[in-house]
Amino acid sequence: MAAAIIGVVDDDKGIRAALDDLLQSAGFRVVTFSSAKALLSSVCLPMLACLILDLHMPGMDGLTLQRHLADAGFRVPIIVLTALGDSEIQARALDQGAVAFLTKPIDSELILAAVTRAITGNF
């Protein structure tokens, strides 16, 4: 069976690289994007098993991207990452269908557990 493809959207190159390394070491295939616009123009979008979105990005932020994908009928489990989250923003992300809301710095075990739950439907 082919490894699940995980999409990572974050404007921070270091975060993208760290998540890429972590997820690949766990056996996932990873595609990274520096912006919502880059994701939306990608041919990879329909192949993603899970999507990890940064909340705060220039241009379209993570919550707007999440809503845009849902409005377009794109159904993929979404994990939201942020360094500056609060309970109101967390509630909005989860109400919009996010399967997890995690804070930076990234906890390897938490992110891997969230991705595993997302791709297996255990959320």
In a domain, 48, yes or no: yes
- Is residue 61 included in any domain, yes or no? yes
pLDDT in tens, 46-65: 999 999 999 999 999 999 99
Token pair in block for residue 28: 């996932």
pLDDT value of residue 108: 95
Range 71-84 average pLDDT: 91
Task: Please give the pLDDT value at position 75.
Answer: 87
Q: What was the pLDDT predicted at 1? A: 53
Q: How far apart, in Å, are the Cα atoms of 87 and each of 16, 17, 67, 103? A: 25, 28, 18, 12
CATH number at residue 76: 3.40.50.2300
How many domains is the chain partitioned into structurally? 1
Q: For residue 22, what are the domain limits?
A: 5-118
pLDDT at 41 (0 to 100): 93
pLDDT for 2-48, tens place per residue?
689 999 999 999 999 999 999 999 999 999 999 999 999 999 899 99
Residue 72 covered by a domain: yes
What is the value of pTM for the model shown?
A: 0.93
Assess if residue 123 is contained within a domain.
Answer: no
